[in-house]
Amino acid sequence: MSTKSVDVLLIGGGVMSATLGVFLKQLDPSMSILMVEKNQKVALESSDGWNNAGTGHAAYCELNYTPEQPDGSIEISKAIAINTAFELSLQFWSYLVSHNYLPEPNNFINRTPHQSFVWGEKNVDFLRKRFEKLTQHPLFSAMEYTEDPDVIAQWMPLVMEGRDRNEKIAATRVKHGSDVDYGSVTRNLVANLEQSSGFELLLNHEVRRFRKRGDKSWSIQMRDRTQNESVSVKANFVFIGGGGASLSILQSSGVEEGLGYGGFPVSGQWLVCKKPEIVEKHHAKVYGKAPIGAPPMSVPHLDTRVIDGKPALLFGPFAGFTTKFLKQGSVFDLIESVRPNNLLPMMRVGLRHTDLTRYLISEVMQSHEQRVDSLRTFFPDAQTKDWDISIAGQRVQIIKKDEKLGGKLEFGTEVIITEDKSLAALLGASPGASTAVEAMIGILEACFADNLETPEWQAKMKEIIPSYGGSLEHDTELLSQVRSYTLRTLQLES
């Protein structure tokens, strides 16, 4: 059995590990980093372009980030948090593009207006109030609103073709929204890492077991799936970026901080259209309202996508029930993740969310024609023959202990960090890849705090993320400088 020794072990070749790896190599080029991926290539799971919606989540069009309160007011704190988090990703990518560490922006990000579209009196009232509240904040000042069918027909022609002109409708638009091919981002980040000395990528290697050593470092056993051999790694710091499998990997590390966590996997499907004459008539991400009873991640949207440089339209996602934690996972993943320490929270969530399970099963049972019927609420003239089904990635929602409820289901992302800061794991999948940079900065601040205090790391952080240490939410001048820099560098300007 061969043994390696590294400063940092990144488990998983998705956008999260790749982002952390690039940050660390930029901050300290002498650091030795090993990335381990169980598949034959990186970015084949959730980060692959076809496995996620590619939305650069900025809360411009996603209506679930601005819930209406019982008194009728609109809560925008989550929208502000998501928008400022995405601004960090834009700065990170801008830095990498300017230094030729990432290719031309259109290889991974494309300007795609973010639009919301609603119908019915109540929803129109909601959208108008949302627009009025959001545009008071400089982060959202570029948002436009209309109830005029002719304007909406210019913004989203397919949505208006064949629609009853007397229907009460409204839309908002932010022109500088983006479609991101996170698969391309990941592959390019890893390609950049592979050019640096002290970085190694092991494909077809699956992490299996952990052992804590006396000196706070970790001894990790993995399986070389090609040679069918064991490989051992000693690492001072471990990041678990296993996507849906992060929970299982965290459990095998045995750390106390992971106790009580469970996972609720949700699968997804898209309707895809690649016909050029249809694709070229839509250039936007158009988000609607989630059907009543649907979980937040199944808000329907009709999106322009550019994946591997090729344009397509996607509609969905249609959620589904699954027991796998990864697309290429095992049907036993869910059952194998049940432990005495998470049994109660998982049972409580299972009993309380029977409506969600029923909803997911009903989604799975839908025929192709029923799915195209849902699409027709957005694109009335859609023809069944023009749309194919495509399988999306898996999302494993977090189940955690809750004093009052026994267990609760969360739809966000959570970073778990051990008390001695030698291990961090990312659980959950939403808002996901858009907030990879913010999540990884959080890990740097928690686990590399001493290094980050040095003038060298501080200066480099400010170079990579010009707003670092400032507030994009409160400092309008800083926001305006940073936004014009990122929109220009990433070619997202109108």
Footprint of ligand FAD on this chain (CB under 6 A)?
11-17, 36-39, 44-47, 51-55, 57, 182, 206-207, 241-243, 245, 249, 268, 317, 326, 392-395, 426, 429, 431-434
Determine the Cα–Cα distance for residues 415 and 15; give it in Å rounded to an integer.
15
- Eight-class DSSP state of 325: S
58: three-class secondary structure by DSSP = coil
- Our CB check for ligand FAD shows the closer of 305 and 460 to be 305
Q: How far is the CB of 196 from ligand FAD (least distance, A)?
A: 19
Taking the least distance from each CB to ligand FAD, the nearer of 105 and 470 is 105
Closest approach of ligand FAD to the CB of residue 305, in Å = 10
Question: Least Å distance between CB 218 and ligand FAD?
Answer: 14
Closest approach, Cβ 115 to ligand FAD, in A, equals 15
What Cα–Cα distance (Å) separates residue 201 from each residue in 62, 103, 184, 391, 437?
A: 36, 20, 17, 27, 21
364: left (phi over 0), alpha (psi -120 to 50) or beta: alpha
The helix or strand, by DSSP H or E, that contains position 476, with its residue range, turns out to be helix 476-489
Please report how close the Cβ of residue 36 comes to ligand FAD at its closest, in angstroms. Answer: 5
- The answer to whether 142 and 175 are in contact (CB under 8 A) is yes
Between CA 293 and CA 356 the distance in angstroms is 7
Of 156 and 233, the one with the shorter C-beta distance to ligand FAD is 233
Q: How far is the CB of 229 from ligand FAD (least distance, A)?
A: 15
Would you state the structure tokens that stand for residue 469, as one six-digit string? 């240490």
User: CB-based burial of residue 40 (10 Å sphere; 0-12 exposed, 13-18 middle, 19+ buried)?
Assistant: exposed
Q: Which is nearer to ligand FAD, 12 or 407 (CB)?
A: 12
- Nearest approach, Cβ of residue 322 and ligand FAD (Å): 11
Nearer to ligand FAD, 128 or 283 (CB): 283
**Cα–Cα nearest to 391, from 267, 271, 269, 303:** 269
Task: Report CA 59 to chain centroid distance, whole Å.
Answer: 13
Give whichever of 188 and 394 is closer to ligand FAD, judged by the CB atom.
394
Query: Which residue's entry shows tokens 């686990």?
Result: 447
Q: Given the complex with ligand FAD, which of 169 and 437 has the nearer CB atom?
A: 437
